[in-house]
Amino acid sequence: MMHEWIPREFAFLDAHVPTLFVAFLLAAAAIWLIDKVLAAWGIYDLVWYPALLRVSLFFGLFSVFGLMVY
Amino acid sequence: MLSTQHINHCIQRLLAGMALLRQGARLVAVCLQQAGTDWYRQDFPLIGYLFKYLLAAFLALWVALKMEMDQPATALLTVVIVMHFRSGMVITKSYYRLIGTVIGILFSMLLVAWFAQDRFPFFIAAALWIGMCTAGSLVYRNFQSYGFVLAGYTLCIVGLPATLTPWHTFQIASTRMSEIGVGLLSATLVSELVLPQRLWENIQAVVRSKFRDFSVLLGTGAPAGLNQPFLKFMQDIYQLEAFRSSAQFETDDARVHSATINRLNVQFMAVSTTYVVLQRLIQRLQTRVASKEADALQVLMQPLSAAVLIDGQPASHAEAITRVQQAVAAFQHDFDTRLAVQLQHLLMHPEVNQLEVETGGELLSRLAKELTAYLDTYALLVAQPRARKVASREFTADQLHMHIDWLPVSIAATRGALTLLILAAIWMTIDWPSGILAMTLGVITSTLFAASPAPMATIRQFSVGVLLGIVLVYISNVFWLTAVHDYVMLCIAITPAVLLTAWLSARPATTLVGAGLGIAYFLMVGFNQALGDNPVKYFNDSIALMVALVVSGIMFSLTDYAASPWAKARVFTQLRKLVVDACLHASMTAPIFEMRTRDLIQRSGSVHRPQEAESVRVVEALCAALEVGHAVLALRAVARGVLAQPYQLVQRTLTLVASYYKQPGLAQQQAVLQWLDHFLAWLQGGEYADALLPSQVRKLTTQLHFIRLVIAAEMPQDQASTSTGADS
């Protein structure tokens, strides 16, 4: 499984950084891209509460990335 | 015994009474419903906002406490700083705050690494950094300017504490970063998810009201003078730009339409300028004794005025806008024939100068063209916002250009750096425990208010907020926080301050009071390392805040650039300089000239005080500069297509006009006017008629004549200024 070879912490310039933080940044970047695509296709016109969709997508993605680590 | 008649009578009266009652009840219900919708529209958003504010603060506090962060108050302070009525604005503000904080933290770590052992180079480098941040906050608009404020402020909350314990720098930096991150996340999450207030409605309202005002102005003329409406339009343009720049993180239509809104703004600038220039031409012609020319122009203008209003009202829905568009297109279509008819008609009056009517006609056809473009974009934005997806791609209208005047920027930078150095000197010489807090507030005020048009009034308002905050901190530290023993009670203890901050900052008149209150309260509130009250620290901190305000107030009053008469004179000089640039520099195009001129005036602060006599003078100067600048640019556009010899003549004209605008003296003016007369005579004489096409001759003639009119009209004002100059 992935979590067996992904470390939970790594050293970045001699500072310990939790991998979860990287997962957070990755999820944020991914959401930023997905959000652009959704807005360009007009998906948000069909959604009742766009902000909720955006936030839940982010948390879903972040959880997926997080579960890869743990 | 009751007769049946009597009973019937009673029943009838009963029925009538019941009908009356029902009617009354219905009336009450309607009134209640009306009141309810009014309340929902006006007061409910404010209550919702207060609720959101509280929720965000509690969430940030809970997370910060749960994660056992050093200073949960920093997370709360972050929430207070980024909360805003509109959701999109919160995200944009947070985004720039994050960037500013990260850069500020990196710089703090560098600074500590370089100069931790010696305070003098440390403070000189810090002062340079603050100076740079102040300059940046003045150069950029809206929330980008905010990023610079935060980059400076972060140095104070990370770099300065780190100097006391340099070996903890990294830890301090990472905890501050996490606290700020918690604050930003709670603020954005809450304002996105709970009762979001969308920007798109504001944008549409501004766009519509701008269109309505302009239609009315076009349709009815400007009986009360052009300056007030023109200032109002400028305000609208920059407000729309502020909304637009915050819309990039919105989920709704605002983001998709960002380019369209920008284009609309640029087009609106063009069309409003042309209208003002035309009106000024007509007014100038009307001041003469026989104003046949002005009458002719007004007759020509009449169908356009009639076209923009439908039954005396501005167009409000899609169909009406289409009708206006068609009417303007029809106006454009047969404008040339109507102009020819008018000119024919005027042949009967030999005293009339045909050239003036032709010049006006040229302007009028430009107005119609620009109006068409503006109407197209407006219709796209308002009437059919859904049909945009393909159309909005092709818009590549560039950003609103900025006009940066380096003098006030460098003054502000020096002010920021000096404020920091003075406070640092006090801190070092008297070994004062709260020096860091004083420096923090000093830096916040000198960067945050650098762009304020009236910094003294701003500082005064902010100080009121800080004083309120100090009083509130005393009450909550001494009476409330000492009684707190769990999270819920802590929430209750900070609720009054949070609510008061939210309420004050939601009202436009007291926004700064709210900011001062929030910042002072959460800088000092007593639940960072230890809960509760420490009188020595409290008094030291309050004195520190006051000293910081006094120092930055003194610095602002010493270097109040915007209020000095010198700065006002400089605005006029710079307007002239822009006209000179328009004459001489090939890179200047009409939209860039337009935007830079307007940005200069916007930054001079006159837009915020439309009632003052000074502002009226500034707007007059702006209109004059726009008028001649556009004529010069149009002249250059025509000259691009002509042969070498006439081209050189145009170049000579431009040089002369430029030298007049560089040094507005009587001699230069006479030189320009003589040369223009000469050039016009040459063109009309037809001596070199084969060198130019008739249409080029016509265009050159009208533009030259227009420039001549404007420069000749400047005479009285100019003499007045030279004579007062001689007197003094």
| Whether residues B571 and B668 fall in one domain | yes
Number of domains composing chain A: 1
| Whether residues B338 and B442 fall in one domain | no
| Whether residues B717 and B650 fall in one domain | yes
Lowest mean pLDDT among B16-30, B172-186, B224-238, B620-634: B224-238
Q: For residue B603, what pLDDT is reported?
A: 74
What is the per-residue DSSP string for B70-120?
S-HHHHHHHHHHH--SSHHHHHHHHHHHHHHHHHHHHHHHHHHHHHTT-HH
Q: How confident is the model at residue B537 (pLDDT cuts 50, 70, 90)?
A: confident
Q: For residue B717, what pLDDT is reported?
A: 47
CB proximity list for B81: less than 8 A, separation 6 or greater? B93, B97, B183, B518, B519
Q: Quick check: B664 pLDDT over 80? A: no
* Residue B389 to residue A45, Cβ atoms within 8 A: no
Per DSSP, the three-state class of A15 is strand
Lowest mean pLDDT among A28-37, A52-61, B248-257, B319-328: B248-257
Please list every residue in chain A whose beta carbon sits closer than 8 Å to the beta carbon of residue B174: 15
Q: Quick check: B708 pLDDT over 70? A: yes
* Residue B251 to residue A39, Cβ atoms within 8 A: yes
Q: How far apart are CA B653 and CA B649, in angstroms?
A: 6
Max CA distance (Å), chain B: 119
Interface with chain B: mutation pick from A20, A24, A44, highest number of B CBs within 10 Å: A44
Residue finishing a domain among B541, B558, B575: B558
Q: For residue B663, what pLDDT is reported?
A: 79
Q: For residue B262, what pLDDT is reported?
A: 78
* Full residue range of the structural domain in which residue B616 is found: 565-727
CB proximity list for B454: less than 8 A, separation 6 or greater? B562, B563, B605, B608
Residue finishing a domain among B394, B422, B442: B394
Is B582 inside a domain boundary?
Answer: yes
Max CA distance (Å), chain A: 48
CB proximity list for B249: less than 8 A, separation 6 or greater? B88, B91, B92, B95, B255
Q: How confident is the model at residue B62 (pLDDT cuts 50, 70, 90)?
A: very high
Contacts 24+ apart (CB under 8 A), B720-725: B721/B664, B722/B665, B722/B666
CB proximity list for B704: less than 8 A, separation 6 or greater? B635, B653, B676, B679, B680, B683
Contact status, residue B661 vs residue B573, Cβ threshold 8 Å: no
Is B399 inside a domain boundary?
Answer: no
Q: For residue B432, what pLDDT is reported?
A: 82
Shortest CA distance to B189 belongs to which of A52, A6, A64, A62? Answer: A52
Q: Does B87 touch chain A (CB under 8 A)?
A: yes
Distance from CA of B192 to the nearest CA of A (A): 6
Helical spans, DSSP H, in B251-397: 253-256, 258-286, 292-308, 318-333, 335-346, 354-378
Q: How confident is the model at residue B217 (pLDDT cuts 50, 70, 90)?
A: confident
Rounded to an integer, the average pLDDT of A5-28 is 82
Q: How far apart are CA B265 and CA B212, in angstroms?
A: 15
| Whether residues B541 and B646 fall in one domain | no
| Whether residues B446 and B500 fall in one domain | yes
| Whether residues B188 and B241 fall in one domain | no
Q: For residue A60, what pLDDT is reported?
A: 93
Please list every residue in chain B whose beta carbon sits closer than 8 Å to the beta carbon of residue A15: 170, 174
Rounded to an integer, the average pLDDT of A30-59 is 83
Number of domains composing chain B: 4
Total Cβ atoms within 10 A of residue B75: 31
* Residue A44 to residue B386, Cβ atoms within 8 A: no
**Chain mean position to CA B669:** 36
More confident residue, B662 or A4: B662
* Residue A54 to residue B256, Cβ atoms within 8 A: no
Q: For residue B482, what pLDDT is reported?
A: 81
Interface with chain B: mutation pick from A36, A53, A54, highest number of B CBs within 10 Å: A54
Please list every residue in chain B whose beta carbon sits closer than 8 Å to the beta carbon of residue A59: none
Q: Does B110 touch chain A (CB under 8 A)?
A: no
Q: Does B192 touch chain A (CB under 8 A)?
A: yes
Encode B33-47: b = buried (16+ Cβ within 10 Å), e = exposed.
eeeeeeeeeeeeeee
Q: Which residue of A has its CA nearest to B191?
A: A51
Dihedral (CA of A16, A22, A28, A33) sign:
positive
| Whether residues B107 and B214 fall in one domain | no
Q: Which residues of A touch B (CB under 8 A)?
A: 15, 39-40, 42, 44-45, 50-52, 54-55
* Residue B189 to residue A42, Cβ atoms within 8 A: no
Interface with chain A: mutation pick from B86, B87, B251, B255, highest number of A CBs within 10 Å: B251
Q: Quick check: B646 pLDDT over 50? A: yes
What is the residue-averaged pLDDT of chain B?
80
Q: How confident is the model at residue B464 (pLDDT cuts 50, 70, 90)?
A: very high
| Whether residues B373 and B503 fall in one domain | no
A–B CB contacts, 8 A cutoff, strictly below: 24
Distance from CA of B112 to the nearest CA of A (A): 17
Task: Supply B288's token pair.
Answer: 């003469």
Q: For residue B531, what pLDDT is reported?
A: 55
Q: For residue B393, what pLDDT is reported?
A: 44
Is B400 inside a domain boundary?
Answer: no
Q: Quick check: B257 pLDDT over 80? A: no
Q: For residue B306, what pLDDT is reported?
A: 76
Q: For residue B633, what pLDDT is reported?
A: 82
Q: For residue A2, what pLDDT is reported?
A: 66
| Whether residues B274 and B345 fall in one domain | yes
Look-up of token digits 């709670």 = B186
More confident residue, B292 or B130: B130
Is B430 inside a domain boundary?
Answer: yes
Q: Which residue of B has its CA nearest to A15?
A: B170
Express each pLDDT in B220-245 by its tens digit: 776 666 777 777 777 777 777 777 77
| Whether residues B388 and B486 fall in one domain | no
Q: Does B195 touch chain A (CB under 8 A)?
A: no
Task: Supply A60's token pair.
Answer: 């879903």
Q: Quick check: B720 pLDDT over 60? A: no
Is B116 inside a domain boundary?
Answer: yes
* Full residue range of the structural domain in which residue A20 is found: 2-69
Express each pLDDT in B519-529 by its tens digit: 999 888 877 65
Residue finishing a domain among B328, B362, B394: B394
Lowest mean pLDDT among B69-83, B125-139, B228-242: B228-242
Q: How far apart are CA B88 and CA B96, in angstroms?
A: 13
Cβ-in-10-Å burial (0-12, 13-18, 19+) of B379 comes to: middle
| Whether residues B536 and B587 fall in one domain | no
Range picked from B100-114, B137-151, B195-209, B307-321 for highest mean pLDDT = B100-114
Express each pLDDT in B363-413 by its tens digit: 888 888 888 888 888 887 776 655 544 444 444 445 566 777 788 888 889
Q: Which residue of B has its CA nearest to A14?
A: B170
Total Cβ atoms within 10 A of residue A19: 18
More confident residue, B458 or B663: B458
* Residue A39 to residue B256, Cβ atoms within 8 A: yes
Encode B564-587: b = buried (16+ Cβ within 10 Å), e = exposed.
eeebbebbbebbbebbbbbbbeee
**Chain mean position to CA B275:** 22
What's at B450, amino acid-wise? A
CA distances from B271 to B367, B369, B371 (A): 6, 9, 6
More confident residue, B626 or B693: B626
Q: Quick check: B6 pLDDT over 90? A: no
Distance from CA of A1 to the nearest CA of B (A): 30
Look-up of token digits 């998709």 = B256
Please list every residue in chain B whose beta carbon sits closer than 8 Å to the beta carbon of residue A54: 192, 251
Express each pLDDT in B468-523 by its tens digit: 999 998 888 888 888 888 889 889 988 999 999 999 988 888 888 999 999 999 88
* Residue B251 to residue A45, Cβ atoms within 8 A: no
Please list every residue in chain B whose beta carbon sits closer than 8 Å to the beta carbon of residue A55: 189, 192-193
Express each pLDDT in B156-187 by its tens digit: 888 888 888 888 888 888 888 899 999 999 99
Q: Which of B87, B193, B386 sits opposite A52 (nearest CB)?
A: B193
Q: For residue B103, what pLDDT is reported?
A: 92
Cβ-in-10-Å burial (0-12, 13-18, 19+) of B361 comes to: buried
Rounded to an integer, the average pLDDT of B436-441 is 88
Is B660 inside a domain boundary?
Answer: yes
* Residue A45 to residue B386, Cβ atoms within 8 A: yes
| Whether residues B21 and B67 fall in one domain | no
